[in-house]
Structure 1
């Protein structure tokens, strides 16, 4: 028996990276999966984002765990699209027990140079998109009366000021923490728990790309992953540059399961000592 047998999990940003890892991990523990992803590019994002082929691969990997999955291309910035995605999942599985609002982007600019569009995309995806991912399922979760677990992806930068040039990212991730605490208060009488996971750097396409290498190693004309690694080693207390997606999925699984049945309104930090 898996820890999530009979459960249904809606996961955003599921095409690759942390979202794909969450989908596979929860499926391995018995959950059916509703996988949502834009599967497209946002103009203000300076690295390649997930594709429809990535989302299709997530489907194959979940099915390899002998679990059912519904995949949908939807933009978390669009409340109507997220409502439709939720309704499709409910029509397929009958209920939603777990929501992993994981979809997010990264970008950066000095404060004087931050364009309105870059700011808007960040807040719309990393904060408003979290809300639009959660709200459509709340009525069904409350009416079903079986409780549930909502896990919002924040960051260590949801708990500190962060490095320079990510003001919009820091603002959004702090907002996610506040949203989780507020929802935890409101939904507790319905036995619906709400928590955040707050990772340090995670080895996904969001940080493993040339654009972010240049941001963190500006003195070199063509910095490599090894150059980037050396910088990050100085940012965590444990002697590692980044954690793996599975490390975050393990935390998500814990929060989704009955092992965390009395944990709500918290920030679960997986940061290799970054905040210590």
Structure 2
């Protein structure tokens, strides 16, 4: 087996990549020379196709594979088709997630299960089947999952299930990192703060707080000052890009906040 520092990953899967942070990661990794597999729900096929075309127009390699991350058969298919298309799997970015809000006392079991199934079960399935493929390949790899600053410290009273799911990602990441160390596969998570994407840009709700700026309502319910730091998805993509490089081989089991300092650790 090649030394992990000498191994250059070249095929990456990014779930939840039709828009937002996932799209930014896919574009950045394509710029880094990766063949990228764009993956999201089938209802977002048009957005996936547009992203694939954007990558290809710049000389990159990309395909779209519709996937529901809560379904085990879909994740198995995602990994199998990636290997069939590009000859292997080097990087799995388990990015897909949702963020429905509810107070704890009013939270339904159905809402809790939905959030946990997408944000935690979905990550577990991506981790599991990517790891199995990487062990089979015997050449190392990179596995990353989307946590959140709310996966380190819960805040506000509307995002208990979301926070719980993101704490779960950190636990899964630490556990798999230890199991995969002998196989030279690193496992890490990224923990965004207020990143302005379609998920947080809600003009109707943003108008109810502060100046009505994009992301204002999310800041409000998560306890971030309305004038607190925010950024675009490219800042998360740049961090993910580094963790996928050969020189990041000594970083594993970590969950780093990308939040402008709103949460310190």
Per the TM superposition, whether the score is higher than 0.5 is yes
Q: Say which SS state the counterpart of residue 73 (structure 1) adopts.
A: coil
1:16 is aligned to 19
Cα distance, 1:95–1:135 mapped onto 2, change above 3 Å: same
1:106 is aligned to 99
Cα distance, 1:207–1:92 mapped onto 2, change above 3 Å: same
CA contact (8 A) 2:37 2:82 kept: yes
1:172 is aligned to 165
Give the C-alpha shift of residue 208 in structure 1: 0.4
Q: 2:139 aligns with which of 126, 146, 155?
A: 146
Give the C-alpha shift of residue 240 in structure 1: 4.8
1:156 is aligned to 149
1:235 aligns with 2:256: no
Deviation string for 1:104-138 (max 9, x for gaps)? 01111111111111111100000001111222222
Cα distance, 1:140–1:228 mapped onto 2, change above 3 Å: closer
Q: What CA distance in whole angstroms lies between the structure 1 residues aligned with 2:247 and 2:195?
A: 24
Q: 2:243 aligns with which of 238, 255, 258?
A: 255
* Structure 1 runs, 4 residues or longer, greater than 4 Å off: 3-6, 229-232
Q: Say which SS state the counterpart of residue 65 (structure 2) adopts.
A: strand
Q: 1:181 aligns with which of 174, 195, 198?
A: 174
Q: What CA distance in whole angstroms lies between the structure 1 residues aligned with 2:106 and 2:246?
A: 46
Give the C-alpha shift of residue 236 in structure 1: 6.2
CA contact (8 A) 1:39 1:73 kept: yes
1:125 aligns with 2:118: yes
CA contact (8 A) 1:230 1:241 kept: no
1:29 aligns with 2:32: yes
TM-score normalised by structure 1 residue count: 0.86
Deviation string for 1:44-83 (max 9, x for gaps)? xxxxxxx322112211222123121120111001010111
Q: Say which SS state the counterpart of residue 74 (structure 1) adopts.
A: coil
Q: What CA distance in whole angstroms lies between the structure 2 residues aligned with 1:189 and 1:5?
A: 18
Give the number of aligned pairs.
Answer: 258
Q: What CA distance in whole angstroms lies between the structure 2 residues aligned with 1:203 and 1:118?
A: 24
Which structure 1 segments of 5+ residues have no match? 41-50
2:52 is aligned to 59
1:94 is aligned to 87
Which structure 2 segments of 5+ residues have no match? 1-5
Q: What CA distance in whole angstroms lies between the structure 1 residues aligned with 2:90 and 2:183?
A: 12
1:43 is aligned to none
